[in-house]
Amino acid sequence: MKPASHHALSLLACLMLAACGGSDHHAQPQAEAARVGVAGQAAGVMPFVADISLAVEDITNLESVSFTIAAKPGSYSKPMSATYTRAWIDRTGAWRAAEKRLVLPVYGLYAGHANAVTLTSAFRDGSQDVEQLTVTTAAYSGTPPYATPVVGTARTATAAPGFDYMLYKPTTLGPAVVDADGNLRWYNDKLVGAVGVPTHYTGDAFYVGSNDAALLYRVDLRGTATSVALPSSRYLRFHHDMVAGKQGLLAEMDVMEGGVEKIESVLTEIGTNGEIIKEWDMGNIFRDVMRAGGDDPSNFVRDSVDWFHMNSAIYVPADDSLIVSSRENFVVKLDYATGRIKWLFGDTTKHWYVDYPSLRSLALTLAGGKAPIGQHAVSITSNGELLLFNNGWGSAQHPAGTSPGITRNFSTPSRYRIDESARTATEVWTFSPEPSVYSDICSSVYETTPGNYLINYAAAEGRTVNRVVSVNSAGQVALDLTYAGPVCSMIHIARPIDFSGQVFK
C-alpha cells in the first residue's frame, strides 16, 4: 500500500470536484484508480541516463508523466526536468501494454551520485500521482575530462550567467551537455570518432555530421545513434558547425565536383532525413561577382585549396538572408534565395580587399572598433546586431605574394551594429580581460540573455587549454571553467542550450 502522501493531490482534486457539484461525489480520482507505482530502473548506455519503469494498472486517462532531478547541494542551475505527453507515449511505444509498464528515459542525471528523482503522472481529471525514487549512477571517468574542470569563478546565487545548460561541440567527439555549475550532465563517449563538431540540438535529439563521410547522425537522449547518408556522392564530409536553417539544417560540407575537391566552400541546407534542400557554392558566387566587376578570380577562388575556410553560417529570418564566416577573408552576407552578396566585412589589409576592386566595392566601412580577423561563430543578438568570436589570426592560405592581413596577439568577442544604408559597421561591445587571452583557432561567443554572453576560448594558453567564460556587458564574470586537454577537439564551440523543462509531444 502506498504512503498516504502519494495521494494527497488526488484526494484534494476529489474534494474540489465534490465542492463544485460533481455528479458523483464518491468517484475515485483517476490517479488513484490507475494504481501507479515504480516498477524498476535500468542504467543507460551512459551514467547520465536511466530508464524508469512505472507500473500502471489503467492508462486510459493518463495525460502526461514528468520527471524532475533535484539539484546537487551547492548547485544553482535550474533542476533538470522534462514532460512526456500522452501523444509522445503513444507515438514512441513507451507503454508496454502486455506488461502494464510505462518505460521512460530520465536524462541529465549527475554521474557518480544518488540522484533524487520525482515522477509526476497527470490525469484528465486534474489528479496526480507523485512517485519519488533514488537513481544512483556510476561515476564518469572517461576521456576527455569534461567532469573535472578547473573552476576559476564558480556560479553563485547572485551572479547568474543567463543560462543553465550549455552544449559543447567538439571536433572529433560526440556532443556534451554541461550545466552552469560545471557538472557534466549528458555525454556518450561511445560516439567518439564517429561524429564531429557539426551538431544541432532540436529538442528531442542531437543531429551530428560525420567528419569523414556524408553521414548525418541522429542521437536521441538515451544516447542511441542512427544515421542516414546524403543522397549524392558529391558530398564528402561535414565540417565545423550545423545550425537551424530556414527549412532544415545549415551544414558546411566538402564537395567533389568534376574530380576536384571543393574544400570548406560549400554551404548546404539539409533535412533531418538527409535530403538536400538548397546549396550555395561560394566559389561560383564569388567567381560570378568578380567577373561582373572586371576582376580575374583565378588567384582568389582556388578549388582544391582551402581559400575560403567556411567555419560558421546562420540564417537570418528578419531579411531572409545568410551570414557566413570565411576565416581566411571576411564575413559575408548573402540573399538566401539568390545567393547575391549584400556586403563583405573584414580586415581591409588582406588580399581580397587590396587586390580586387569588385570585392572592395562590396565592403562595409569600419566606423569604430576593430575588424573581424580569423573569426568564428557568427550569430545575431536579440536586438539584431552581429556577434562573433574575433580570433585575430591572419590568413594562412593566401596566395604567394599577397597580403595575409593583420595578426593580433589577443582574441575577443566582438559585437557590431551594421548600418546597411550607410554601409558601415561599428564595434559596440567587446570583452578584453587582463591579462589578455589569445585563442587563434576554433572558439565561440553567444548571447545567452540580453547583456550576458557565453565565451569559449577553445585554444588558449598556446593551444593547451579550453576556457569557458560567462560575462555580462559590464565585464563581470559569472563563470570561468578551464579544461586541460586537446584543444578544439574537446570544445570547439560552446553555446547555451534549453535542456531543462522540455515537453515532448
Instruction: State pLDDT tens for residues 152-191.
Output: 999 998 888 999 999 999 877 789 999 999 999 999 877 7
Which comes out higher in pLDDT, residue 379 or 19? 379
Can you tell me the mean pLDDT for 4-10?
Answer: 45
pLDDT in tens, 210-227: 988 999 999 999 999 999
Domains of the chain, residue spans: 4-136, 150-504
pLDDT at 242 over 60: yes
Positive or negative: CA dihedral 366, 369, 373, 379? negative
pLDDT in tens, 253-263: 999 999 999 99
* Dist CA 90 CA 95 (whole Å): 7
Establish how many alpha carbons lie within 13 A of residue 304's alpha carbon, considering only the half-sphere containing its beta carbon. Answer: 5
* Dist CA 54 CA 51 (whole Å): 10
Cis status, amide bond into 79, omega within 30 of 0:
no
pLDDT at 6 over 60: no
* Dist CA 415 CA 425 (whole Å): 10
- Phi, psi of 258, deg, nearest 5: 60, 35
Compute, in degrees rounded to 10, the torsion defined by CA atoms 355, 358, 364, 367.
Answer: 50
Supply the pTM of this predicted model.
Answer: 0.92
- The confidence score (pLDDT) of residue 17 equals 43
- The confidence score (pLDDT) of residue 14 equals 44
- The confidence score (pLDDT) of residue 26 equals 60
Q: What is the Cα 388 distance to its own chain's centre?
A: 15
Cis status, amide bond into 450, omega within 30 of 0:
no
Can you tell me the mean pLDDT for 187-196?
Answer: 72
**Contact present, 243 and 270 (Cβ < 8 Å):** no
**Contact present, 271 and 265 (Cβ < 8 Å):** no
Residue (of 463, 377, 461) closest to 414 by Cα position: 377
- The confidence score (pLDDT) of residue 190 equals 75
The total of other beta-carbon atoms located within 10 Å of residue 57's CB is 10
- The confidence score (pLDDT) of residue 10 equals 46
pLDDT in tens, 447-489: 999 999 999 999 999 999 999 999 999 999 999 999 998 888 8
Strand segments, DSSP code E, in 154-299 are 165-169, 176-179, 184-187, 199-201, 205-209, 215-220, 225-229, 235-244, 249-257, 260-270, 276-281
Confidence at 193, pLDDT banded by 50, 70, 90: low
150-504 is classed CATH 2.130.10.10: yes
Weakest mean pLDDT among 42-51, 191-200, 490-499: 191-200
**Contact present, 106 and 117 (Cβ < 8 Å):** yes
Residue type present at position 133: L
Can you tell me the mean pLDDT for 1-18?
Answer: 44
Positive or negative: CA dihedral 258, 262, 267, 269? positive
Query: What architecture is the 4-136 domain classified under in CATH?
Result: Sandwich (2.60)
State the average pLDDT for the chain.
Answer: 93
pLDDT at 304 over 50: yes
* Dist CA 251 CA 222 (whole Å): 24
**Contact present, 61 and 29 (Cβ < 8 Å):** no
DSSP calls for 121-186: EEETTS-EEEEEEEEE-PPP--SS-TT--EEEE---SSS--S-SEEEEE-SSS--EEEETTS-EEE
* Dist CA 166 CA 162 (whole Å): 11
Residue 12 has what DSSP assignment?
H
* Dist CA 41 CA 39 (whole Å): 7
pLDDT in tens, 30-67: 999 999 999 999 999 999 999 999 999 999 999 999 99
SS3 letters across 84-126? EEHHHHHHHCCEECCCCEEEEEEECCCCCCEEEEEEEEEECCC
- Phi, psi of 316, deg, nearest 5: -115, 100
- The confidence score (pLDDT) of residue 192 equals 63
Residue (of 430, 336, 424, 335) closest to 375 by Cα position: 430
Q: What is the Cα 65 distance to its own chain's centre?
A: 26
- The confidence score (pLDDT) of residue 485 equals 80
- Phi, psi of 227, deg, nearest 5: -140, 155
Confidence at 194, pLDDT banded by 50, 70, 90: low
- The confidence score (pLDDT) of residue 333 equals 98
Residue type present at position 408: R
